[in-house]
């Protein structure tokens, strides 16, 4: 079980880059990071389609 508060303190308000963020593991990491309210998330991936997919998903998730 992961204690989330130290991670939240680190990422809340931070600018975050997720490399490989369109893949299976990377997209899940991106979703979890988004819940921690970073200032911004930059997602990098070789697949334009995967980037589009996670972008559309996050657009509905973030304010």
pLDDT value at 63 more than 70: no
Q: What pLDDT, in 10s, does the model give residues 9-55?
A: 999 999 999 999 999 999 999 999 999 999 999 999 999 999 999 99
1 or 25: whose pLDDT is higher?
Answer: 25
Structural domain for 43, as ranges: 4-61
**How many other CB atoms are found less than 10 A from the CB of residue 7?**
13
The number of distinct structural domains making up the chain is 1
HEC sequence for 12-60: CCCEEEEECCCCHHHHHHHHHHHHCCCCEEEEECCCHHHHHHHHHHHHH
> Which residues are within 8 A (CB) of 36 and not within 5 positions of it... i.e. 6 or more apart?
4, 7, 8, 11, 12
Global confidence as pTM: 0.84
């Amino acid at each position: 079980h992961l204690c989330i508060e130290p991670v939240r303190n680190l990422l809340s308000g931070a600018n975050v880059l997720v490399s490989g963020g369109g893949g299976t593991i990377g997209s899940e990491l991106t979703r979890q990071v988004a819940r921690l309210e970073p200032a911004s998330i930059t997602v990098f991936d070789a697949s334009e389609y995967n980037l589009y997919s996670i972008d559309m998903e996050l657009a509905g998730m973030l304010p």
